[in-house]
Structure 1
Amino acid sequence: MPRSDRTHRGARSRSRRDSASTCLKRSPITRSRHFAAPRCSIGFTISPDRQDVRVSSSKAILLARIRTAIETRLTDPNLHAQDIADAVGISVRYANEILSTEDTSIMQLVLARRLTRCRYALEDPDQAHRTVSEIAYGWGFGDLTHFGRKFKAAYGMTPSEYQVLARRM
Structure 2
Amino acid sequence: MRLQLTIGTIIITLLLSVGINYKTAIDQKQAGEARVAQIATEAQVNQQEVDEMRKDIAILRRELAAQREVYPTSRGGQRVARYIDGAQVTWYNDKGKTASGTTATSGRTVAVDPEVVPLGSEVEIVMPDGRVFRRIAEDTGGAVKGKVFDVHIDASDEELYELGRTHGVRVFVLGR
- What is the TM-score with the length of structure 2 in the denominator? 0.26
Report the structure, 1 or 2, having the larger helix content.
Answer: 1
Q: Which has the higher contact order (CA 8 A, sep 6+)?
A: 2
Report the structure, 1 or 2, having the larger strand content.
Answer: 2
- What is the TM-score with the length of structure 1 in the denominator? 0.26
